[in-house]
Amino acid sequence: MTSPPAPEQAPTSIPPASEQAPTSMSNRQIIQAMSGLMAGMFVAILAGTVVSNALPTIIADLGASQSAYTWVVTAELLAMTATVPLWGKLSDLYNKKLLLQLSLSMFVVGSLLAGFSHGVGLLIFSRVVQGTGAGGLTALAQVVMAAVIPPRRLGKYAGMFGAVFAVGTVAGPLVGGVLVDTSWLGWRWCFFIGVPFALLAIVLLQRTLRLPTVRREVHIDFLGAFLIVAGVCALLIWVSLAGNQFDWASWQTAALTVAGVLLLAAAVVVESRTPEPVIPLDIFRNRTVTLTTVASLLVGVAMFGGTVFLSQYFQISLGKSPTVAGLMSLPMILGLLVSSTVAGQVISRTGKWKVYLVAGAVVMTAGLALLSTIDADTSFGLLSVYMAVLGIGVGMLMQNLVLAAQNDVPAAELGAATSVLSFFRSMGGTIGTSVLGAVLASRVTTEMTKGLKAAGIPTSTQAGSGGGSGVPDIKSLPAPIRTIVEHAYGVATADLFLIATPFALLALVAVVFIKEKPLKTTSGMERLAEEADAAPPAPVG
């Protein structure tokens, strides 16, 4: 099955077959190997969701503003977005298991820093560290899955990850709400609680995950990595601060956008010339990769940008406690769990996947459109239906975009292709959260000013009610002002979903043009060995 090994010192773009483990793994072996991976993913999901219901309390306790609320969310997304391509590239060069353990270790450090934060500055920095670790988990989890599981069987196991995602997303807000509502624990335990799970994941990965160590001469593109991170950060900082710290049409906007565009243009030049680019530009010649990348970007904008503020809507507009707010997100998560699991099983059985991409995009668009009709008086029953529709659409679409791309690239580019999709989805989420957060703050202020004037209440009370720069404590407000605040947040949240809907519609257009191809029946390791056998040795030097 294997060809004679290449000379030990000869660098090759594909590792020699003799260094691979191309044998097919049984279901039991795969599940054992995935245990640590699933524990790691659970940690990353828990970190993001456990904070969601606690965030209004955290921001109020630290005396921070609405813009700080957005930054605590954005900081993690920004770090994750900027580092995903780097982790993906490193996975093509170094041992994936060690990289996973390193990302989990960074996550532990960030969680401890966040838990001990006594100011919003340190909290935001700790979220950057957490985001860097989460970037590794985001990129590497799906790379490792593709390395050991053939695309034709991947749908079934992707359903398991969908279950982990659902449990983490359901448990996170619920646990976060309980921790905040428990006086002798408090919001700091929202960060501490993930540390034992992260340490467990590190141990499980060490014991269960067996991947070949690739030994080859590598050239790390430090300049390209710096230019990509700097360019992306400049643009994301712009969309995060514009509308809050400075006007959209201002010299700061001009400086950040020009700097970001120039840095990314320089990155394109560097990436096109280096032998080991962080993002291989030639993968975009693949139609499937290009279209799934565009769809992932749009899904990130639509889903993350719209749903990240739902917890704030539950607590401020509907007046619910953090614990109840966690329970209220159940319909969306259950919809995601059921659709991702069922779609994965059917895809593995039939080998047909495009219909689920198209159906998922249609249903997601419908869910966002329905959520754009909510207000402070929307019943929970109706809200549950709308959220379930959105969850069903996302469950069918998001994971299967990655499956389509992984199925259509050479095994040597699995890490790059997977990280590119994760990168653009995260970037879409960061842009959506930042821009829609600015829209929310502006819309809330406008609606509250209008409501206060209509009620004959002096607008000087607006700052105290949270309509200015602060997040309101709804329980402490007088009844007339409380009604105005609830209405303002209800209208503003509905507007966010209305803005997100066209992005979901564009994602539908992108997936319609993806060409369905048969799913491969060999794993990434097996394909890598076959490609190594077929490829001539690369010239030395």
Q: 476-487 pLDDT, tens per residue?
A: 777 778 888 888
**φ, ψ for residue 246 (rounded to 5)?**
-155, 165
Secondary-structure breakdown of the chain: helix, strand, coil percentages, each rounded to the nearest 5: 75, 0, 25
Residue type present at position 454: A
Look at residue 263 in the predicted model and tell me its pLDDT: 92
435 vs 414: CA distance, rounded Å: 31
Look at residue 9 in the predicted model and tell me its pLDDT: 38
In this prediction, residues 19-48 reach a mean pLDDT of 67
530 vs 522: CA distance, rounded Å: 10
263 vs 240: CA distance, rounded Å: 18
Residue type present at position 78: L
Collapse the DSSP code of 246 into the 3-class scheme (helix H, G, I; strand E, B; otherwise coil) and give the result. strand
CA angle 492, 119, 327 (to 5 degrees): 45
Please tell me the least confidently modeled range out of 50-59, 179-188, 203-212, 455-464. Answer: 455-464
Lookup result for tokens 């949240």: 493
Per cent of the chain over pLDDT 90 is 10
Look at residue 265 in the predicted model and tell me its pLDDT: 92
254 vs 290: CA distance, rounded Å: 29
- pLDDT above 70: residue 60: yes
45 vs 47: CA distance, rounded Å: 5
Please tell me the least confidently modeled range out of 29-43, 248-262, 443-457. Answer: 29-43
149 vs 378: CA distance, rounded Å: 44
Q: How many residues does the chain have?
A: 541
pLDDT (tens digit, 9 = 90+) per residue, 156-205?
676 667 667 666 766 776 777 778 777 778 788 888 888 888 888 888 87
Residues with Cβ within 8 Å of 255's Cβ and at least 6 positions away in sequence, in order, are none
434 vs 73: CA distance, rounded Å: 9
Partnered with residue 65 across adjacent β-strands are 470
Look at residue 335 in the predicted model and tell me its pLDDT: 87
Helices of type H across 455-477: none
189 vs 392: CA distance, rounded Å: 31
Q: What band does 258 get if pLDDT is binned at 50, 70 and 90?
A: very high
Helices of type H across 12-54: 27-52
Q: What band does 216 get if pLDDT is binned at 50, 70 and 90?
A: low
Q: What band does 223 get if pLDDT is binned at 50, 70 and 90?
A: confident
CA within 13 Å, CB half, 234: 19
Q: What band does 525 get if pLDDT is binned at 50, 70 and 90?
A: low
Q: What band does 39 get if pLDDT is binned at 50, 70 and 90?
A: confident
Q: Which pair of tokens denotes residue 514? A: 């993806």
Asked if 396 and 265 count as a contact pair (C-beta separation under 8 A), the reply is no
- pLDDT above 70: residue 459: no
In this prediction, residues 376-390 reach a mean pLDDT of 89
Angle (deg, nearest 10), helices 380-406 and 414-454: 160
Q: What band does 389 get if pLDDT is binned at 50, 70 and 90?
A: very high
- pLDDT above 50: residue 5: no
Q: What band does 468 get if pLDDT is binned at 50, 70 and 90?
A: very low
Look at residue 402 in the predicted model and tell me its pLDDT: 82
Asked if 371 and 390 count as a contact pair (C-beta separation under 8 A), the reply is yes
539 vs 473: CA distance, rounded Å: 66
In this prediction, residues 137-149 reach a mean pLDDT of 77
pLDDT (tens digit, 9 = 90+) per residue, 62-99?
876 666 776 777 677 678 777 877 787 777 777 778 88
Q: Which pair of tokens denotes residue 152? A: 């034709």
491 vs 391: CA distance, rounded Å: 22
Mean pLDDT over all residues of the chain? 77
Lookup result for tokens 């006086």: 183
pLDDT (tens digit, 9 = 90+) per residue, 355-382?
999 999 999 999 999 999 988 888 888 9
pLDDT (tens digit, 9 = 90+) per residue, 269-321?
988 888 777 777 888 888 888 999 999 888 888 776 666 778 778 888 888 87
Look at residue 10 in the predicted model and tell me its pLDDT: 38
Look at residue 17 in the predicted model and tell me its pLDDT: 36
pTM of the model: 0.74
Q: What band does 471 get if pLDDT is binned at 50, 70 and 90?
A: low
Lookup result for tokens 């290009």: 290
Look at residue 13 in the predicted model and tell me its pLDDT: 40
**DSSP H or E stretch at residue 253:** helix 251-273
**φ, ψ for residue 276 (rounded to 5)?**
-130, 70
**φ, ψ for residue 457 (rounded to 5)?**
-95, 135
